[in-house]
Structure 1
Amino acid sequence: MGMSVTISAATAQDAEAILKLQYLCYQTEAELYGDYGIEPLTQTLDDLRAELGRGHALVARLGDEVIASVRGEIDQAGTARIAKLIVHPRMQRHGLGGRLLDAIEAHFAGDPAAKRFQLFTGHRSEGNLRLYRSHGYAPVATREVGPRLTLITLEKDAARAQGDYAASA
C-alpha cells in the first residue's frame, strides 16, 4: 500500500528535520557554485527556529518523514518573500516543488498586505529557474555576490495569482 504526500504548516517540532533536509538539498547547489559556505549550509537550528517564528513555513510529509519544505514572510512593503524551497533528492521531479510553491503562494495570497511574491535563485540553477518561470515568475533583478554566483530575483503579482487560485477553486 502506497502513502500519499501531505502538505501542512510546519511546527516548531519540525525545525530539526527541516534543517537536516535543507543541508542535504543544498549540497548540489554548493557543488554547482563551488561554495560550501552558502547560508543554507551554515544556518543554525536557533536561526531556523527564529525564521520559522517570523514567517510561515510548510512541510510535505511522506508518512512521518519531512520530505520537502518552503518558507516565507511578508515584509513591510507587501512583498511575500518565498525562500528555501527544498525537496528531498529522491522525491524530485514529481511535481512536489510546484505543489509547495502553489501552497505557500495561496497562503500569502489570502493576506491583504501581500502585493507581490518574490524569490531568488542562482544563475546556474536551471531547474529552479524553469520551475519559477512555469509558475509565472519573471526576472526583475540580478546581483553578483561573488565571482561564481549571480543571484536572479524573480517576482509575480499577488493579485494576479489570487485570481488564479479563485479560478481553480
Structure 2
Amino acid sequence: MGMSVIISAATAQDAEQILKLQYLCFQSEAELYGNYRIDPLVQTLDSLHAEIATHLVFVARLGDEVVGSVRGTVGPDGAGEIGRLCVHPRLQGHGLGARLLRAAEAGLVDERSTTRFRLHTGHRSENNLRLYRRAGYAPVGNETGRDGVLMILLEKDATKPAYVASA
C-alpha cells in the first residue's frame, strides 16, 4: 500500500528541505533560460525562514519528505501573490502542482481575505503556463525580473471557478 501526499502549512523545520527541493526543481527553469542565477536558485536559508514566518507557505509531504511547496502573500494592492510553486520531478504530472496552487489560493482567501490572485512565470515555461491557464489565470502583462528573465504576469479573480474544462 502506497503513502498519500498530504498538503499542510510549512514550519520552520521544513525550511532546509524546501530550499533543497526548490534548488532541484528550478534547475530545469535555469536551463531553459540559460541563467543559473534566477531568484529561486540564489535564495538563502535565512530569507526562506523569514518567508515561512510572514507568508503562507504550504508543503506537500510524502511521509517525512517534502515533495512540493508553494508560497502566498498579499501584495501592496491587496492581491494575493503566489510564487515558488515547485514539485519534485519524480512526482510531476500527477496533479500535485494544482493541489498546491489551490491550497495557496484557499489560504489567501481564508486567512488574508484576498479577492484576486496574481502570479508570474517565465515566458518559455509552457508547462507552468498550461497549469495556470487550466486554473483560470489569464495573462495581464509582462516584466523583466531582477534576474533578467522575461516574466508573464497572470491574474485571476478569487470568486471565479477554480478550474476550466479546457486548456
TM-score by length of 1: 0.90
- Report which stretch shifted further, 137-146 or 8-17: 137-146
Is the 1:70–1:86 contact (alpha carbons within 8 Å) kept by the matching residues of 2?
A: yes
Partners of 1:112 and 1:31 lie apart in 2 by 35
**What does 1:1-169 correspond to in 2, within 5 Å?**
1-111=1-111, 113-145=113-145, 149-161=149-161
Which structure dedicates a bigger proportion of its chain to helix?
Answer: 1
Superposed CA RMSD in Å reads 1.9
Task: String of CA shifts for 1:53-93, please: whole Å, max 9, x gaps.
Answer: 12101000111100000011012421110000000000000
Sequence identity, in percent? 60
Gaps of 5+ in 1: none
Gaps of 5+ in 2: none
Kindly state the Cα deviation for residue 160 of structure 1 after the two structures are TM-superposed: 2.5
Q: How many residues align?
A: 163
Partners of 1:129 and 1:144 lie apart in 2 by 17
Partners of 2:41 and 2:156 lie apart in 1 by 28
Partners of 1:81 and 1:149 lie apart in 2 by 18
Partners of 2:106 and 2:113 lie apart in 1 by 13
Runs of 4+ in 1 over 4 A off after TM superposition: none
